[in-house]
């Protein structure tokens, strides 16, 4: 039987419970007409494919095209001479997409699949299996604090915490916030050597391109506290990065560290009542 996934969040499941636990949580939602499930076979029959776009040298964005599945997120493929990282894996995969990823990754291949948080798990084990080789599946890195949200266990899963160097110049780290294990990736070589942060929605690039948001739930509009926003900002400000990409098509094109720190201060001021006289 084809792999089962929740049609709303796009996360793969080993079975079909009455309701997807990820969607039943206050950070997500179950559709008004009830839980819906789908399979990769059904998505393929409906015309699903994976579209690729180059964001900058060595960094690619992947999106599901042709059908609506999951929350419309964007995956990132970060390619280095030592191998590639597939970040925030999509809720769909097919042979064409695997072939393209392998071609872009080069001889070193994909060394890890990882998600910023449980909403972005997608079909992570399926990507791992299809990108694997005779030597085994590609490791799937899951924040230890968020392991309980995994709905499809498998031997490729690897728990991690703290800071983890995935590839030379590529570090995954956990500022938390949106989820306790919410993670970001720092790529020292990005933006022409000035650094890039792949932030998922741990830190969300706003449409104005000069500010970011810190939220417990984006669709349900639940903010984090100002104290947590500033903690997250301090955590990532240890790294140098000129540019920031979120898990959709949002980008902070320049001065991204300053934008994050300034936005966290603004968030704290609004949540602690500093600006109540403006309301």
Query: What tens digit of pLDDT does each residue of 133-190 get?
Result: 877 899 999 999 999 999 999 999 999 999 999 999 999 999 999 999 999 999 999 9
Q: Is the pLDDT of residue 122 over 50?
A: yes
Digit-coded pLDDT (tens) for 28-66:
999 999 999 999 999 999 999 999 999 999 999 999 999
Residue 108 lies in a domain: yes
Place of tokens 């939220």: 215
Residues 202, 178: Cα–Cα separation, whole Å: 6
Query: What pLDDT score does 28 carry?
Result: 97
Residue 21 lies in a domain: no
Domains held by the chain: number: 1
Q: Is the pLDDT of residue 201 over 70?
A: yes
Domain containing residue 146: CATH number: 3.60.15.10
Q: What is the DSSP secondary structure assignment for residue 235, as one 8-state letter?
A: H
Residue 150 lies in a domain: yes
Residue 258 lies in a domain: yes
Residue 86 lies in a domain: yes
Q: Crossing angle, helix 256-271 and helix 226-236, to 10 degrees?
A: 170
Exposure on the CB side of residue 255, measured as CA atoms within 13 A: 8
More confident residue, 201 or 133: 201
Domain containing 163 equals: 4-16+26-40+49-278
Residue 103 lies in a domain: yes
Residue 231 lies in a domain: yes
Query: What pLDDT score does 1 carry?
Result: 47
Residue 199 lies in a domain: yes
């Amino acid at each position: 039987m084809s792999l089962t996934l929740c049609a709303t969040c796009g996360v793969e499941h080993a079975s079909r419970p009455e309701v997807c636990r990820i969607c039943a949580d206050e950070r997500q939602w179950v559709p008004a007409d009830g839980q819906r499930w789908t399979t990769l076979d059904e998505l393929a029959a409906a015309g699903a494919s994976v579209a690729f776009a180059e964001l900058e040298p060595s960094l690619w964005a992947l999106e599901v095209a042709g059908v609506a599945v999951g929350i419309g997120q964007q995956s990132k493929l970060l390619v280095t001479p030592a191998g590639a990282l597939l970040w925030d894996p999509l809720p769909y995969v097919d042979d064409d997409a695997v072939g393209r990823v392998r071609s872009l990754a080069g001889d070193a291949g994909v060394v890890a699949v990882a998600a910023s948080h449980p909403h972005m798990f997608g079909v992570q084990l399926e990507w791992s299996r299809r990108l694997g080789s005779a030597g085994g599946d590609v490791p799937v890195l899951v924040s230890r604090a968020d392991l309980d949200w995994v709905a499809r266990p498998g031997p490729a899963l690897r728990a991690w915490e703290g800071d983890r160097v995935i590839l030379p110049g590529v570090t995954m780290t956990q500022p938390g916030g949106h989820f306790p294990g919410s993670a970001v990736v720092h790529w020292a070589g990005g933006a022409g050597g000035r650094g890039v942060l792949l932030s998922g929605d741990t830190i969300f690039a706003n449409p104005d391109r000069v500010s970011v948001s810190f939220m417990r739930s984006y669709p349900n509009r639940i903010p984090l506290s100002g104290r947590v926003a500033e903690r997250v900002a301090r955590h990532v400000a240890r790294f140098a990065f000129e540019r920031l990409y979120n898990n959709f098509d949002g980008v902070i094109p320049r001065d991204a560290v300053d934008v994050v720190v300034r936005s966290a201060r603004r968030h704290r001021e609004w949540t602690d009542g500093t600006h109540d006289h403006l309301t």
